[in-house]
């Protein structure tokens, strides 16, 4: 998937406001395969005046510039985990093999009497599913650290992390458990039911939330290479997506055996923001013209929302991508059209809300500054923020919530934030304010658009419901991207897509100062990165 931020001085050949307007028109109408809506498409959003664009920022002449355009030359995907057997880091360190990590017990049960199915926050009062396949990957890392060491303690703690289950290709739906491979969707739901029963003991059955990621659009990640996927719109990919992917997922989650689970679905990470901010890229222009992403997402929303215990969060990228005021406001109109087009009545309440920061590294909070002029002005102390006042994820979702509800979304609209890799702990973490923002920002990347296996990062806030009493619309912190799953290979010779459509992306290579070396393909287990994330966790992992 692609997380984009503007490169210094980069601009698209056309106004981003115009690009958003074109996409809004596409969202309201469909081709023959579209989920039809009786509601009219929203009017195109008018473009704000465009300011000049000196180096290094996209618009340094005014603190409120026209929407800067992400550069297609510096895509920032965060590819999905692979459901296949995890592969070790290319340079393992032999060590004695201790006993494998036992399958972790479910998290402590919620308060007795909580309803199994809710119309509110699906994470509230619920146990969180722990993926046995993730536990196996963690167990693999335990064999590669010294028994009784500090690293061994950290690895054992990680075995209890609740992580999302990625359905990133057709084969992931069935899995290959019978032959010793990865679990399929029904296997995971069966395991969730078993964990729910174990958490409940002899008392009344208690709620359990399991998170799945719907991620297999045709022509996926149109502006990147690390995880393009298996389906092509040129080869009937949209029809395959609907009938062999979404329909199958919808049938499984609707089975009576799973009616007591709270099934959270994160829908198509970054696909829509990827497209609308990269229309200068031919592949993205093509999926926009054919309405591939729009029709696919609308179909998924319509089908999955029909099951009452499925809770939909549509991915909304992150603050380093849509944080600029103009970008964000136009995105709100685009997402409104997208959601309205999923049903004939144009309902906006078919989604629970939005997921931000999926598989990215943007901090929840920059503790020593806000996004005011001296911080974001690239002519001052840094070019890192390029007039983007959305310096962190909490600022981003606060503004989005206000703007979405003002646009007509219901007051119940909520957010989840992926905190699996945005802790930024360790010795390099700043401890106080400084005259130069580069000396006090906890996001230590050289460029905010660097996304691939980023160095010096750490586990963030642990998954939990209602984490912030001041933000009732923040449903949960979650680990959507399982810590330890690679973002993409650093092997610059891997230019032919593998069976899962994954290949080398330049943002994962040795020319990017922030990227770790010796990285395997996207989704494969990256032991070195896993240990780094645990050691640099913030709050500290114990």
Written in H, E and C, the secondary structure of 344-388 is: CCCCCCCCCEEEECCCCCCCCCCCCCCCCHHHHCCCCCCCCCCCC
Q: Give the sign of the dihedral formed by CA 340, CA 342, CA 343, CA 347.
A: negative
The pLDDT value given to residue 270:
79
Q: How many CB atoms lie within 10 A of CB 124?
A: 18
Question: 3-class DSSP state for residue 128?
Answer: strand
Closest CA to 459 of 400, 409, 529, 384: 529
DSSP symbol at 89: -
Closest CA to 115 of 25, 247, 204: 204
pLDDT at 514 over 80: yes
Closest CA to 185 of 246, 119, 117: 246
pLDDT in tens, 428-455: 999 999 999 999 999 999 999 999 999 9
Q: Which H or E run contains 167? A: strand 165-167
270 carries an active-site annotation: yes
**Two tokens at 510?**
């040795």
pLDDT at 14 over 60: no
The pLDDT value given to residue 167:
97
pLDDT at 530 over 80: yes
The pLDDT value given to residue 227:
64
The pLDDT value given to residue 502:
83
pLDDT in tens, 388-412: 999 999 999 999 999 999 999 999 9
The pLDDT value given to residue 394:
98
> Which of 187, 315, 418, 487 is flagged as catalytic?
487
Cα 257 versus chain centre, distance = 28
Q: What is the mean pLDDT of the chain?
A: 83
pLDDT at 244 over 60: yes
Q: Residue ranges of the domains in the chain?
A: 127-536
Mean predicted confidence (pLDDT) in 202-220:
95
The pLDDT value given to residue 223:
82
Lookup result for tokens 């962190």:
392
Pairing of strands 353-356, 414-418: parallel
> Which of 133, 168, 270, 418 is flagged as catalytic?
270
CATH of domain 127-536: 3.20.20.40
Q: Which residue has the higher pLDDT, 108 or 167?
A: 167
The residues near 275 (Cβ < 8 Å, ≥ 6 apart) are 23, 222, 284, 287, 288, 293
pLDDT at 207 over 90: yes
Pairing of strands 414-418, 165-167: unpaired
pLDDT at 217 over 60: yes
pLDDT at 529 over 80: yes
pLDDT in tens, 342-380: 999 999 999 999 999 999 999 999 999 999 988 999 888
Confidence class of residue 113 from pLDDT cuts 50, 70 and 90? low
315 carries an active-site annotation: no
Report the alpha-carbon distance of residue 406 to residue 413 in Å, rounded.
Answer: 11
The pLDDT value given to residue 383:
87
pLDDT at 253 over 90: yes
The pLDDT value given to residue 57:
31
Report the alpha-carbon distance of residue 535 to residue 141 in Å, rounded.
Answer: 14
DSSP symbol at 415: E
Report the alpha-carbon distance of residue 207 to residue 43 in Å, rounded.
Answer: 42
User: What does the DSSP assignment read for 205-241?
Assistant: ---EEEEEEE---TT-STT-STT--S--GGGTHHHHI
């Amino acid at each position: 998937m692609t997380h984009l931020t503007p490169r210094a001085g980069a601009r698209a050949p056309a106004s981003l406001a115009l690009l958003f307007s074109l996409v809004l028109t596409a969202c309201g109408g469909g081709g023959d395969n579209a989920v039809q809506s009786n509601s009219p498409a929203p009017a195109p959003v008018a473009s704000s005046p465009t300011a000049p664009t000196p180096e290094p920022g996209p618009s340094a002449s005014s603190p409120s510039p026209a929407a800067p355009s992400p550069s297609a030359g510096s895509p920032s995907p965060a590819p999905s985990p692979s459901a296949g057997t995890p592969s070790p880091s290319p340079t393992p360190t032999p060590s004695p093999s201790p006993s494998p990590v036992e399958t972790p017990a479910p998290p402590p049960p919620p308060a007795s009497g909580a309803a199994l199915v809710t119309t509110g926050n699906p994470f509230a009062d619920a146990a969180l599913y722990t993926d046995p396949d993730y536990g196996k990957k963690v167990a693999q890392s335990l064999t590669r650290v010294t028994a009784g060491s500090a690293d061994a303690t950290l690895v054992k703690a990680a075995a209890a992390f609740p992580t999302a289950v990625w359905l990133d290709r057709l084969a992931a739906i069935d899995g290959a458990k019978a032959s010793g491979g990865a679990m399929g969707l029904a296997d995971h739901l069966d395991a969730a039911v078993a964990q729910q029963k174990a958490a409940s003991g002899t008392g009344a059955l208690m709620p359990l939330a399991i998170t799945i990621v719907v991620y297999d659009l045709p022509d996926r990640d149109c502006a990147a290479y690390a995880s393009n996927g298996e389906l092509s719109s040129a080869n009937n990919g949209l029809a395959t997506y609907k009938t062999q992917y979404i329909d199958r997922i919808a049938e499984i989650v609707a089975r009576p055996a799973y009616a007591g689970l709270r099934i959270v679905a994160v829908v198509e990470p970054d696909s829509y923001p990827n497209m609308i901010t990269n229309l200068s890229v031919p592949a993205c222009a093509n999926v926009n013209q054919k309405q591939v992403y729009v029709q696919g997402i609308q179909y998924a929303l319509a089908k999955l929302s029909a099951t009452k215990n499925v809770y939909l969060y549509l991915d909304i990228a992150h603050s380093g991508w849509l944080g600029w005021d103009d970008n964000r406001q136009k995105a709100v109109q685009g997402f409104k059209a997208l959601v309205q087009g999923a049903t004939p009545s144009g309902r906006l309440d078919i989604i629970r809300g939005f997921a931000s920061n999926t598989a990215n590294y943007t901090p929840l909070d920059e503790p020593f500054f806000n996004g005011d002029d001296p911080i974001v002005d690239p002519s001052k102390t840094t070019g890192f923020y390029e007039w983007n006042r959305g310096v962190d994820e909490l600022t981003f979702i606060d503004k989005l919530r206000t703007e979405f509800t003002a646009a007509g979304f219901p007051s119940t609209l909520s957010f989840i934030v992926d905190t699996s890799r945005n802790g930024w702990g360790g010795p390099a973490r700043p401890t106080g304010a400084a005259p130069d923002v580069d000396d006090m920002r906890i996001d230590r990347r050289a460029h905010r658009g660097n996304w691939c296996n980023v160095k010096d990062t750490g586990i963030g806030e642990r998954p939990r419901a209602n984490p912030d009493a001041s933000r009732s619309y923040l449903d949960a912190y979650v680990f959507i991207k399982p810590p330890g799953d690679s973002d993409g290979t650093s092997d610059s010779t891997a230019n032919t897509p593998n069976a899962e459509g994954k290949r080398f992306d330049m943002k994962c290579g040795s020319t990017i100062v922030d990227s770790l070396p010796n990285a395997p393909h996207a989704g494969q287990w990256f032991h070195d990165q896993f240990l780094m994330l645990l050691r640099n966790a913030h709050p500290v992992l114990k």
